[in-house]
Amino acid sequence: MKFRLDTQNGITVGIAELEGRLDASGSAPLQKASADWQTKTPFLVFDCSRLDFIDSSGLGAIVGCLRRSLENNGDLRLAGLTPKVAMVFDLTKARKLFSIFSNAGEAAASFGATPTAIQER
C-alpha cells in the first residue's frame, strides 16, 4: 500500500493505493495503516484501481476505516473500482455507504466541493 498526502482546496487528503488482494490476510494491515493515516488527516481516498480481489474480510476492513473517519469528523471515499471489486460492493449493497469516483483525483477534489457537486458512479 502506498500512501501520500495531497492538498485540495485547502483540505489535506490522504490517498492510499490498494493493490492485489484484500482478504483476511490483508485486512488487519489495512486497518492498522489506516489508523496511522488518520493521525495525519481524517479525509481519505482509497484508490482501488489496482485492487484485483476483495472478500468479506476486506470489505469489513474498508467499512471499519470509513467508520473511524466519520468518528473523526472526516470521510473515506473510494476511487477506481475494478469490475470484480465493484461487483462485491454492488452485491452487498455496501456501495450505498460510500461516495465512489472514477479516479483518485476526482475523489480528492470532491472534499472541497459542495455536497450537491459530489457524483456517485
Residues 31-74 pLDDT 10s: 999 999 999 999 999 999 999 999 999 999 999 999 999 999 99
How does pLDDT run across 65-114, given as a tens digit for each residue?
999 999 999 999 999 999 999 999 999 999 999 999 999 999 999 997 54
Distance, CA of 69 to CA of 50 (rounded, Å): 23
Helix pair angle (56-71, 24-37), 10° resolution: 10
Q: Which residues contact 77 (CB under 8 A, 6 or more apart)?
A: 44, 45, 46, 98, 99, 100, 101, 107, 108, 110, 111
Residue 120 or residue 39, greater confidence: 39
Domain boundaries of the chain, sorted by first residue: 2-117
3-state secondary structure 14-43: EEEEEEEEECHHHHHHHHHHHHHHCCCCCE
Say whether pLDDT at 14 is over 70: yes
Judge contact between 100 and 76, C-beta under 8 A. no
Name the CATH code of domain 2-117 (choices 3.90.550.10, 3.30.750.24, 2.40.160.40, 2.60.120.260). Answer: 3.30.750.24
- In whole angstroms, give the CA distance from residue 55 to residue 69: 21
